[in-house]
Amino acid sequence: MSRSHISSQIREIATRLGFDQVGFARAERMDPEAQRLEEWLNKGYHGKMSYMENHFDKRVDPTVLVPGAKSVISLVFNYFPEELQHDPEAPKIARYAYGEDYHKVLKDKLFTLLDEMRAKFGNIQGRCFVDSAPVLERDWAKRSGLGWVGRNTLLIHPKKGSYFFLTELITDIELEYDHPIKDYCGTCTKCVDACPTDALVGKGYLLDASKCISYLTIELKEAIPEEFSGKMENWSFGCDICQEVCPWNRFSTPHNEPAFTPAEPFLELSKEEWLEITEEVFNPLFKKSAVQRTGYEGLKRNLRFISDSQK
C-alpha cells in the first residue's frame, strides 16, 4: 500500500472514532522548538511544574521517546459544550472539564485506532499519548497543519477555533506528511488584553505559566499568592478567558461525544452551593471528571481564594 493510501485509511478510521482532524508529520528532533523550550524553562515561566524540566531529549525528539518512530500522527477532538453553567455568578469551571476526564476517553479511542491500523496494515508499532508524557503536542499539531499556535499559545484552526483536545500516536510507519498553515492572528491582541493576570508576555505567543489562572487553580499545590487576589475572574478550576475573547472561536460548534456531556446537577449548581460544597457532594459529582486533578481540598482552596477576593 502507498503512503497516500495508508494515510487516507487512517483519516477515515479516526473520523469514524469521532476525531475532528488528523495530521501527519515526520518523526524527527525539533530543533527550533527545543531552543524555545529551553529559553522558556530558563526564564522560569513553568513555575512549580518541575516535571517540565525532565526528559528534555524525549520531549523534543519522538525517536528518543519511541525508538523506531517514523511518524507523529496528531489528532484533535472537539470539547465545546452546548450548555454553560446556569448561574452566571457561580464559580467557573473550564469547559474542557465539564464531562468525563478526557485522558481516559481519548486514550481508549487512540488504542482502538492503533488496533484497527494493525488489522489493516500489519504488525506496526506505536504509542498513544493524551497529555500524559513529554510530548510537545501543540508543536506537532502545528507541524501537521492542524492549526497555528496563536498569541494565546493555543492551537487555533481557522474554521474550528480552539476548543479541542490534542492527542498523538507515534508510530513506525511512514506516511504522507502534511505542512504547517499560516498564522492568522494578525494584529489582534484580544487575548493578551483580556488576561487579568498578565500571563501572556509582551504581545503574546509566550506564556508565563506561573501567572496563568489554569496553573494557579490546578498545577500549583501551595497557597495561591496574594498578588492574584481580585484577578481570578471567578475561575475555580482552569480558565477560558483567552479562548472566550478569541474571534476564531465564533466558529466553535458543540461536540458530539456523550462522555463529555456534563451532568445536569453540575450545570445547575448555584454560587451558594459551590461555596458550601461538601466532600460528599464533590466525590460523586466529579468522580470521572478532570476536576479530580485538584481534588476536593484543592477546589475548596480555590473557592475560598476567589470568595475572599470578592469581599
Please identify every residue annotated as catalytic.
Answer: 131
| Torsion sign over Cα 247, 250, 251, 257 | positive
User: What is the DSSP pairing of strand 21-26 with strand 235-237?
Assistant: unpaired
Which cell numbers hold the place of 311? Answer: 469581599
Whether the Cβ atoms of residue 94 and residue 238 lie closer than 8 Å to each other: yes
Residues 6+ apart with CB under 8 A from 280: none
Beta strands in the chain (DSSP E): 21-26, 71-78, 92-93, 126-129, 148-149, 155-156, 164-171, 235-237
DSSP class per residue in 58-105: HHH-HHHHSTT--EEEEEEEE---S---S-TTSPEE-GGGSSS-HHHH
Candidates 12, 16, 121, 24; CA nearest to 72 is 24
Q: How far is Cα 165 from Cα 74, in angstroms, rounded to an integer?
A: 10
| 3-16 helix and 102-121 helix, angle to the nearest 10 degrees | 140
